């Protein structure tokens, strides 16, 4: 049985900050070596990662340096990029070539949302992948998913041939109203599907929990790193056979592999601590906005109110590591928080009775 930690080739170390193509391949070689030496085998890439060169780097750092039986590779059909029927076959063959392999151990329809699912259906992508499986070019077929449990149920009912689903699961999204991780997970169980977990550390956010939460974790186990709680949490769920981590340096890889080599499930005491950590993070929520968007169309200044509240909450919960300020400043073609004329139209629409004007002012003080 494979060990339950997969090496995601999506946040590899860079030689030049901000240049996703400037991958430090020597560093990646060392990471691959340590990963394999410690008995791990699962590597995850995608057509779009690192602006299209992740697959090539996988070939150079793994495929050309190790025998094929030493590792398994997961790759993904970019459902959002398909424009015409021929794209499906063209991209699949391109991927085999870029990775330098004859077959994929795991293959996924990438990022199924309502829109991407419709696109995948339009170009018969499920049928294409099933045919590739019959040919032996795909060993195990599934999809990654980012939408509602209802849509997931619909897809799994229509395509029982899918063998696994990749879901975003972590302890903070478990009961989150948007991600609905628990309900998606339960839908997979209902259909008897195996699960791969992505974003167990929520893109790194759960590596930087508030001080109070960090102290609780350290009091229980001084040696365990903060991310180890998040990864072990995901790996402890039934039917989860793989947890992906987009590791960015040797230090992270060293830490992750150390506790996943002889993986121990989260015990009841640890579960209690995680629940407390969740409460602490949620208590740092500045605005209880549910993202319903009822307010958005009413705003004469075209201010994306729920989006700004989301960034404000992230800043408060996870500090600068949330990158909220940059993301705020990068948002174009919309009103800024400082443009609010305090007309109050939004507040009349808000089902949560949020004092939007007051909080928009706070957003402005923080980010403008
Ligand atoms: S109060 Fe501000 S945010 Fe609300 S609708 Fe008016 S301009 Fe937009
Ligand atoms: S109406 Fe209220 S809850 Fe809904 S998005 Fe706007 S601020 Fe958030």
- Ligand 1 pocket, residues with Cβ under 6 angstroms: 298-301, 303, 305, 340-346, 356-357, 360
Q: Domain 5-276, what fold?
A: TIM Barrel (3.20.20)
| Centre of ligand 2 from the C-alpha of residue 315, in Å | 18
Eight-state DSSP code of residue 339: G
Protein residue closest via CA to atom 2 of ligand 2: 350
pLDDT of the chain along its 368 residues, tens only? 579 999 999 999 999 987 899 999 999 999 999 999 999 999 999 999 999 999 999 999 999 999 999 999 999 999 999 999 999 999 999 999 999 999 999 999 999 989 999 999 999 999 999 999 999 999 999 999 999 999 999 999 999 999 999 999 999 999 988 789 999 999 999 999 999 999 999 878 888 888 899 999 999 999 999 999 999 999 999 999 999 999 999 999 999 999 999 999 999 999 999 999 999 988 888 887 877 788 988 999 999 999 999 999 989 888 887 889 999 999 989 999 999 999 999 998 887 788 999 999 999 999 99
pLDDT at 235: 97
* Cα-only R_g, the chain: 22
Q: Where are the domains of the chain?
A: 5-276, 296-367
Distance 333 CA to ligand 1 centre (A): 16
pLDDT at position 317, please? 84
Using alpha carbons, select from 219, 161, 170, 225 the residue that is nearest to residue 193. 161
Ligand 2 binding pocket mutation candidate from 291, 295, 351 (most atoms within 8 A of CB): 295
Q: Write down the pLDDT at residue 296.
A: 87
Question: What is the distance in A from the centroid of ligand 2 to the CA of 118?
Answer: 28
Atom number in ligand 2 closest to CA 291: 5
Predicted confidence at residue 321, as pLDDT, reads: 77
Look at residue 1 and give its three-state secondary structure: coil
Tokens of 223: 């040696």
Looking at the DSSP bridge assignments, the partners of residue 142 are 108, 164
Q: How far is ligand 1, taken at its centre, from the CA of residue 355, in Å?
A: 11
Tell me the pTM: 0.84
The three-state (H, E, C) secondary structure of 42-75, written as one string = EEECCCCHHHHCHHHHHHHHHHCCCCHHHCEEEE
For 316, how many CA atoms within 13 A lie in the half-sphere containing its CB?
19
Q: For residue 1, what pLDDT is reported? A: 53
CA distance 114 to 102: 31
Q: Provide the pLDDT for residue 190.
A: 98
């Amino acid at each position: 049985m494979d060990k339950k930690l997969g090496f995601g080739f999506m946040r590899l170390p860079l030689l030049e900050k901000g240049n996703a193509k400037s991958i430090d391949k020597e560093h990646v070689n060392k990471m691959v070596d340590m990963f394999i030496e410690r008995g791990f085998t699962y590597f995850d890439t995608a057509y779009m990662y690192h602006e299209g060169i992740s697959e090539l780097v996988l070939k150079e750092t793994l495929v050309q340096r190790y025998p094929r039986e030493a590792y398994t590779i997961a790759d993904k059909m970019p459902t959002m990029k398909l424009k015409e029927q021929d794209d499906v076959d063209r991209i699949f063959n391109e991927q085999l070539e870029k990775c330098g392999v004859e077959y994929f151990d795991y293959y996924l329809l990438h990022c199924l949302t309502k829109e991407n699912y419709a696109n995948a259906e339009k170009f018969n992508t499920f049928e294409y992948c099933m045919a590739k499986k019959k040919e032996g070019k795909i060993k195990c077929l599934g999809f990654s998913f980012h939408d509602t449990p209802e849509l997931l149920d619909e897809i799994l009912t229509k395509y029982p041939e899918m063998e696994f689903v990749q879901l975003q699961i972590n302890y903070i999204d478990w009961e989150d109203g948007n991600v609905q991780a628990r309900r998606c997970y339960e839908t997979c169980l209902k259909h008897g599907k195996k699960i791969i977990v992505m974003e167990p550390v929520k893109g790194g956010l759960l590596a930087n929990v508030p001080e109070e939460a960090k102290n609780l974790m350290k009091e229980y186990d001084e040696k365990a790193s903060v991310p180890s709680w998040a990864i072990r949490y995901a790996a402890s769920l039934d039917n989860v056979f793989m947890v992906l981590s987009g590791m960015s340096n040797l230090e992270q890889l060293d830490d992750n592999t150390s506790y996943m080599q002889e993986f121990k499930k989260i015990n009841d005491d640890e579960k209690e601590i995680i629940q407390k950590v969740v409460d602490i993070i949620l208590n740092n929520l500045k605005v209880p906005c549910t993202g319903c968007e009822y307010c958005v169309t009413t705003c004469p200044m075209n201010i994306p109110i729920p989006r700004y509240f989301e960034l404000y909450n992230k800043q408060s919960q996870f500090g600068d590591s949330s990158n909220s300020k940059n993301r705020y400043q990068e948002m174009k073609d919309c009103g800024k928080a400082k443009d609010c004329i305090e007309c109050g139209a939004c507040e009349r629409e808000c089902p949560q009775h949020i004092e939007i004007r007051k909080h928009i002012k706070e957003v402005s003080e923080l980010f403008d």
